[in-house]
Structure 1
Amino acid sequence: MNRLAHHQGIHKFFFTLGLTLQLSKPVIKHLIHIVDALTTKGFSGTLTDVHHWSFHPNHRTTLSHFFTKSPWDEERLLGKLQEWILSQVERLAKWKHQPLFVSIDDTICQKTKPSSRAAHAIQGCDWHYSHKDHQSVWGHSLVWLMVHTFTQAFPFAFRLYDKKAGRSKIDLAMEMLSSIKVKLTQPVYVLMDS
């Protein structure tokens, strides 16, 4: 299967974000393969899947090394992506004379229960109450924020909720809301559940 055209499109997007000037070629190469795998049908979230679905030419352990030891700045990458998202949503809202919406919600990424034989539990996992299941479940609790118009929506930010850190989900939501810099004349509506 030839993935070259797909990889060129991802590289062009990274160029649009200005990342090709800020990140090294090996980092860009890894990120292209990661995005390729994440957007492929059948991807289940494992490092083995990233290697398999992206047709990465290097050994699977190269990706593990990249995630744990490579000198790339996740915050810079996220900041560039957020700038691009806001410019897209602002342009669309202004062009169609629509309001801008900001949605805040939380979710639980449920994991299998920790094994009594496991040497280490999955980092950041805890017991969280699931309204869907009406009981506590083992997993990661995330607070996320989306920005959108009537026709397009973009994931903007997310924070891992850690009960032991002493910060509430409301604190995390306020932190993410304060990171949005909007210059619109149209109204902005913040949507959330109770």
Structure 2
Amino acid sequence: MNRLAYHQGIHKFFMMLGLALHISKPVWKHLVHLVDALTTKRFSGTLTDVHHWSFHPNHRTTLSHFFTKSPWNEERLLEKLQEWVLRQIERLAKRTNQPLFLSIDDTICQKTKPSSRATHVIQGCDWHYSHKDHQMVWGHSLIWLMVHTFTQAFPFAFRLYDKKAETSKMDLAIEMLSSLKGKRARPVYVLMDSWYPSRNSSKPA
């Protein structure tokens, strides 16, 4: 299967974001393959899948090295992507005369419970209560922010919630909302569960 045409589309999108001045060619190459794998139907989240489904020409160990040691600025990449998202959503809202919505919620990325004999567990994992399963599950708890109109939505930001840290889910939500600086041309409505703005500072599991 030849993915060249698909890779060219990802490449053009990165160019549109203005990333050429911020990331090196090797990092650029890895990111193109990563996006390719992430958008593949059978992708399950492993480096093996990234290597297989994106037809990466290098050995799989280069991906591990890329994630752990490559000198690339993740925050700058996210910032450029967020700028593009805001331009797109505000253009759509203006054209259709719709308000902007910001949705905040939390979710659990469930993982396999580690064996009692495991010497290493997945970093950041803990027990969290799942409202879907009505029980405690092992995994990562994420707070995420979406920006959208009535007809189109984009993921904007997310934060990993650590039960052992002093930062609450509300603190993380405020941090993400604070990243949306400046006045918006359209009315903005924030949608969230009722406990987020409550005075009670207790942290749900």
Bucket of the pairwise TM-score, normalised by the shorter protein:
over 0.9
CA distance in 2, matches of 1:39, 1:63: 17
Residue deviations 1:136-162 (CA, integer Å, cap 9, x gap): 111100000000011110000000000
Deviation at 1:11, TM superposition (A): 0.4
CA distance in 1, matches of 2:57, 2:79: 29
Aligned to 1:81: 81
- In structure 1, runs of 5+ residues without a counterpart are none
AA aligned opposite 2:163: K
CA distance in 2, matches of 1:160, 1:191: 20
Deviation at 1:183, TM superposition (A): 3.6
Cα-Cα RMSD: 0.9
AA aligned opposite 1:170: M
AA aligned opposite 2:79: G
Aligned to 1:6: 6
Task: Select between 125-134 and 168-177 the one with higher mean Cα deviation.
Answer: 125-134
AA aligned opposite 1:193: D
CA distance in 2, matches of 1:63, 1:177: 32
CA distance in 2, matches of 1:65, 1:14: 22
Task: Select between 2-11 and 177-186 the one with higher mean Cα deviation.
Answer: 177-186
What TM-score do the two structures reach when normalised by structure 2? 0.92
Say if 1:76 and 1:16 are closer, same or farther in 2 by CA, change over 3 A: same
Off by >3 Å, runs of 4+ in structure 1: none
* Higher share in helix: 1
Contact 1:94 1:184 in 2 (8 A): no
What TM-score do the two structures reach when normalised by structure 1? 0.98
AA aligned opposite 1:138: W
Aligned to 2:122: 122
Contact 2:33 2:55 in 1 (8 A): yes
Aligned to 1:177: 177
1:15 partnered with 2:19: no
Deviation at 1:182, TM superposition (A): 5.0
AA aligned opposite 1:46: T
Aligned to 2:201: none
AA aligned opposite 2:190: V
1:160 counterpart SS class: strand
How many pairs are equivalent? 194
Residue deviations 1:81-105 (CA, integer Å, cap 9, x gap): 0000001011111111100000000
Task: Select between 28-37 and 177-186 the one with higher mean Cα deviation.
Answer: 177-186
1:92 partnered with 2:65: no
AA aligned opposite 1:51: H
Residue deviations 1:12-71 (CA, integer Å, cap 9, x gap): 000000001221111100000000000011000000000000000000001001101100
